Structure formats: C-alpha cells, structure tokens
C-alpha cells in the first residue's frame, strides 16, 4: 500500500516540476523577446518614424499583446497533436488511376489546343 502511494507521490512531484519548469521557460523567453523588441524599437523606429523610445516592460508588453492578438504559429493543431489528414475518398482513387492511364495524354492535348488558340 505504501509503495503505491509513494509511486503516485513521485509522479505528482514530477508533474509539478514539469509545469513549474515550463512556466519558468515561457516567462524567460517572453522577457528575452521583450528585450529584443525594445532594442529593435529603440534602434529603428525613433530614427525612421520619429517615435519615442520604449522601456523594457513596454517591449515585454508588446510581445504579450502580439501573442494575444495573433496567436501561435500552429493554431490549427492541438497541443502536441498533428492535424488530421483528410480521408482519401473513392473519387480520389479513381482520379489517380485515370491520371496514370489517360491524364497525361489528355493534359498534353489540352495544352496543344490552348496554345493553338493563342
């Protein structure tokens, strides 16, 4: 009985450590990106557009705002899952067979007809 509860405790402890590490890394990357946004903004935009310089926290806020507005790069997928592919229908199978037997010749005839019309 003790071994099962001890094993569950270890699994729970590992999960908490992973969550804490993941959140810490996300915050660290956000702060690093905020610093680079601040550097780029202060280096380019005041000279080009005459805008005021921003602070580190304003740069970090811009990173958070952009993340909220534009989302992540892979918004189609769920966390850790690949997007589901469209199932192949019978029509697709028939098209593949048609293309192998007649498709190339039919396409070449069509391109000849189009080029002669021009």
Spell out the long-range contacts of 62-65 with Cβ–Cβ below 8 A and sequence spacing 24 or more. 62/34, 62/37, 63/30, 63/33, 63/34, 63/37, 64/30
pLDDT in tens, 50-76: 999 999 999 999 988 998 898 866 555
Supply 106's token pair: 């039919």
**Residue 86's pLDDT is what?**
66
Task: Indicate the pTM of the whole model.
Answer: 0.51
3-61 pLDDT, tens digit per residue, is: 667 777 788 899 999 999 999 999 999 899 999 999 999 999 999 999 999 999 999 99
Please report the pLDDT score of residue 44 as a whole number: 94
For residues 59 and 35, the answer to whether their CB atoms sit within 8 Å is yes
* Better pLDDT: 27 or 93: 27
Which pLDDT score, from 0 to 100, does residue 100 have? 80
């Amino acid at each position: 009985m003790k071994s099962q509860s001890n094993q569950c405790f270890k699994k729970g402890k590992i999960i908490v450590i992973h969550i804490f590490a993941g959140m810490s890394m996300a915050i660290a990357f956000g702060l690093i990106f905020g610093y680079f946004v601040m550097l780029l903004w202060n280096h380019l935009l005041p000279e080009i557009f005459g805008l005021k310089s921003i602070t580190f926290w304003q740069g970090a806020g811009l990173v958070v705002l952009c993340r909220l507005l534009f989302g992540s790069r892979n918004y189609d997928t769920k966390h850790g899952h690949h997007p589901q592919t469209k199932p192949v229908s019978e029509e697709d199978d028939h098209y593949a067979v048609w293309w192998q037997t007649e498709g190339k010749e039919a396409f070449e005839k069509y391109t000849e007809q189009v080029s002669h019309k021009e």
